[in-house]
Structure formats: structure tokens, C-alpha cells
Amino acid sequence: MRLIALRLGLLAGLVTLSSALLEPRTIRGVPVQRMSLTKDSPSPYCFVVSSIAELDSSSNFLATQVWPSARSASTAVKKYASSDWTVCEFGCGPGMPSLTAASLGCRVIATDLDELALDLVQAAAEEQEWTVTSSKFDLIADSIDSDALASIHKAMGQRDIDLVIFSDVFENDRVAKGAARVTSYFLEKGSRVWTFAQSDRAQRDAYVAELKARCPDNDSLAFADTAYDGNQKLWLCDLDETKVVYG
């Protein structure tokens, strides 16, 4: 009888959890849905906005969706990141890579210019009982915002950033060049930088050109379809959207 009661209790708990995960959610009054990294259970999930029609002009719909590069970045984090790393994601959107890092126990800060995107990350982290710090950061600025970078280091307890992640932030040349400036800054600090972009993102050429201008000793920089070797500081990961695993 005890075993039956235990099983019934466990089943009731699973039903309650499943019901909670299926319940519709709104964040800042906007309907959202959960998007899991894989079909495995448990799997990190983030929140995405259900429809562009639900947004006002203050939010960027592109910043509220999970793109193939974010899935690839998350898979790489799950495979290669160490639980004792501090991780910073720029242009995080819904923050799938950040949330994946948090699921491993990493200390994480997710940054974006879009405030709704940051709220999506926070809501997903809190619901999964993980800690992710969020912070506004403008990659479009013509120069690095030293105050914003100081805030990132402060949020991390002045610890060095072990890993910086960019996943498909190349929506225009200004963002791409801003990402290159931030990449150069963190490489000089000794951080790892992983940048993921689909092959058809033309703006990533602007990122590479700006990075070469700032790192003249490494003129061979280019995106490539290669795995992380465990040692390289800069990983420019070229990905084919048709080969991305969706669960």
C-alpha cells in the first residue's frame, strides 16, 4: 500500500508540474510560450513571444525568438562549458544559451538592449529556479560603453568572464561592428569568445573585418564549420541552418 501511495503521489506531482508548464503565460502583458532546447527531460527552456501582433513599438520581435544559432550555442555550452565558469551573453534575446549555462551551475549574466527580452530571460530563470543576472547593453553604440562593462564585472563580483557568447547578433553592420569591439575587449582580458552565425548572414563579414582591424596579428580570422578544440580563445562557428538539431 505504501508503494502504491508513493507512486500515486509521484504521479500527482508530475501531473501538477505538467499542467504548470502547459499553462499560458504572459510577461509584461505579452503572451509567451515555452521553448525547450531538446525533447529530453529535463531540458532548459526559455520563453518566446507567441505573435508579433502582441508587441508594441518598444520591443523588437527578433529579440524575442530563438534562432538556430542560439540553439547551436546552447548545445555547445552544454557540451563544452564548465560549471565553474562565469558566462556573459551579448544580444541574448530570450537567452537560451544563458539559461543552458545556468542549468550547469555557471554564474551567468545575460545582456540585451531590449527590455522585454531581458524580462523573458529572468522569468524563465526564476521558473526553473536558476540564477541569471540581466543587464542592458547597447551593441549599436559607436564605442564601447565602459560604464556598462563595469556593471557587468560588478554583477559578476569583479570576477573575470570565462566565456562570452554571441549568437546571430548580426542584424545590421552597426551591431556586427559593436560585437567585434566587445569581442576584442574580452579577448584582451583573456576571456573565451564564442560567436555563432548562420552562413547566410552577410553582416558577419563586417564583424570579421572590424575584428581583423583590432587584432592585426590574426589576419586569418574566418567563420568555419569546426568543433571547439577545448583550448582556442576565439571560436567563430559557421552553421548551416538545415543541420541544426531542434530536439
Going by C-alpha positions, the residue among 67, 73, 100 that lies closest to residue 192 is 73
pTM of the model: 0.88
How far apart (Å, rounded) are the C-alpha atoms in residues 157 and 208? 31
Contact (CB, 8 A) for 169 and 139: yes
Work out the number of other CB atoms within 10 angstroms of the CB of residue 43. Answer: 14
Provide the pLDDT for residue 174: 94
Domain 2-243 has CATH 3.40.50.300: no
Secondary structure element (H or E) that encloses residue 183, with its range: helix 173-188
How many residues does the structure list for the chain? 247
Main-chain dihedrals φ then ψ at residue 17, nearest 5 degrees: -65, -45
H-type alpha helices, the chain: 2-22, 68-80, 96-104, 115-127, 146-155, 173-188, 204-214
Domain ranges of the chain: 2-243
Contact 69, 171 (CB under 8 A): no
Question: 3-state class of 185 per DSSP?
Answer: helix
Per-residue pLDDT of the chain (247 residues; tens, 9 = 90+): 443 443 334 333 333 333 344 566 899 889 999 999 998 878 999 999 988 888 888 888 889 999 999 999 999 999 999 999 999 999 999 999 999 999 999 999 999 999 999 999 999 999 999 999 999 999 988 888 888 888 898 888 888 999 999 998 998 999 999 999 999 999 999 999 999 999 889 899 999 999 999 988 777 899 998 889 888 999 999 988 877 777 6
